[in-house]
Amino acid sequence: MKTKIIAVANQKGGVGKTTTAMNLGAALALKNKRVLLIDLDPQANLSEYLGYEPDGKPTMTQLIGQAAGMGKAPETVSGIRKHKAIEGMDYIPADINLANAETAMFSALSRETILKRILFPEAVSDYDYVIIDCLPSLGILMINALTAADELLIPVQPQKFSLDGLEALAALTAQIRATVNTTLGRITILPTMIERTNVCKAALNELSERYASELSSTVIHKSVEAAKSSETGAALCSNTKSKLGEEYKQLADEMIAAS
């Protein structure tokens, strides 16, 4: 099986993007898939969720910086990856200095392809899935993630402003497909933080009308389970009694079936 690179992205924050990256990865690992998570957000929320503690060793900051021409001896994916033993996933953490690396990317040659060059096929051949947790922005890091990706997963909280923001991401994705990543394939819109309210129901109906072919058959409900999971660092699907964990397992099945 060819390694599948999935960018988890939305320029709007607070939609469950990091929770989705973490728990989709854990659900895929439970299904005996080899998974690498990549934190591409200077806020490093995914790294914190995974239990990462800064140890002075290279992170995504160094990988990006070196590929952009800022560094000396190149680091590699296999050289800096870390392991989350309980969920059986590998990951590459981020740190706040990734914001400085992002600034330096603007003057780099072929700046849109920096991440793609880092994640070249041989570098990620140990994995079935590489999942990139993107920062909430339409900037150069997001463009790099979309250029490197085979698929795009968009968590969306069903609210008016969230739906409006989808149009900007859709426009950027269309530009990426037309230029630097003509093989960018499936786009999946994942409704998250679902509540039993009329507002939520109306927004879901609008999603169905506007994005019928991209809309996931799985939805993720709103629950305190998500906050507890991020606090403990344990994936939701590690708890057999977790409703959200079962929903992420269903999402994993959907992603596998579409591969």
Per-domain residue ranges of the chain: 4-258
C-alpha pair distances (Å), 179 with each of 73, 153, 172, 175, 242: 31, 20, 11, 6, 42
184: alpha, beta or left? (left if phi > 0; alpha if psi -120 to 50): beta
Q: Which helix or strand (DSSP H or E) is residue 90 part of?
A: strand 89-92
Q: Which pLDDT score, from 0 to 100, does residue 117 have? A: 92
Each of the 259 residues of the chain gets a pLDDT tens digit; together they read 799 999 999 998 889 999 999 999 999 999 999 999 999 999 999 999 999 999 999 999 999 988 888 655 568 899 999 999 888 999 999 999 999 888 889 888 889 999 999 999 999 999 999 999 999 999 999 999 999 999 999 999 988 767 777 888 999 999 999 999 999 999 999 999 999 899 899 989 999 999 999 999 999 999 999 989 988 999 998 887 899 999 999 999 999 998 7
CATH fold for the domain made of 4-258: Rossmann fold (3.40.50)
